[in-house]
Structure 1
């Protein structure tokens, strides 16, 4: 990794957020966290440039179509990894630019790391 990429991990579950933060920080990424849809939008509309979003779009304070519209307005080119449960695979969360779906399970972190690395590598001209 040539530059430190900024990832935003948005998940309502604090255990998952913190676990993913540890894993990605250890791999050299700069990680930002969002617990709610409101925090997600505050960060994406803030001053920090983001390189990729990892999201479980199941937030109690914002529906997926609203989040998608706001993200599309702000960062239409932002790569997105949907990290969600099997029961939510038909999430309906439309991709912004590049979207990949990684099912949450006990060993999904390695698949998630591979997907993130591949998506970020594709962005380099």
Structure 2
């Protein structure tokens, strides 16, 4: 049995956050949500069990480039899936440890599930443990 992931979903839209949370929880994952940049940074810097981030960088209270820079500088090991209307990120996946880009739309949840399933298949528990250790201060 493949291990479940601890996923943080950051999106300004509460309907999108809850929909992704419900769908990913049904896949067996543990899900936390963040509604703005401040919450995202607080959760991601304080919780070393987060395995993956689903991110729409258009968050309230956060300048996109500054937010991405903070994520890249401080937590380069957390894989990120961009889930956004902004196609600008499709060609800028090198900004952070990006697994992929999913444009929001009617079938985007299937694409998100596929990316996360592929990541989960290719990332065993020992790899996730190694990622978590690298995220801990002093490691």
Above 0.5 in TM-score?
Answer: yes
More divergent stretch after superposition (21-30 vs 68-77)? 68-77
Secondary structure of the 1:96 match is coil
Larger proportion of helix: 2
Q: Is the 8 A contact 2:56 2:84 kept in 1?
A: yes
In the alignment, which of 87, 90, 93 is matched to residue 89 of structure 1? 87
How many Å separate the matches in 2 of 1:83 and 1:98? 11
How many Å separate the matches in 1 of 2:106 and 2:9? 17
What 5-or-longer segments of structure 1 have no aligned partner? none
Residue 11 of structure 2 corresponds to 11
TM-score, structure 2 normalization: 0.80
1:107 to partner: Cα distance:
1.6
1:48 to partner: Cα distance:
4.1
Number of residues of Structure 1 aligned to a counterpart in Structure 2: 123
1:28 to partner: Cα distance:
0.3
What 5-or-longer segments of structure 2 have no aligned partner? 128-139
Q: Which runs of 4+ in 1 moved over 4 A?
A: none
CA RMSD of aligned residues (A): 1.7
How many Å separate the matches in 2 of 1:121 and 1:98? 17
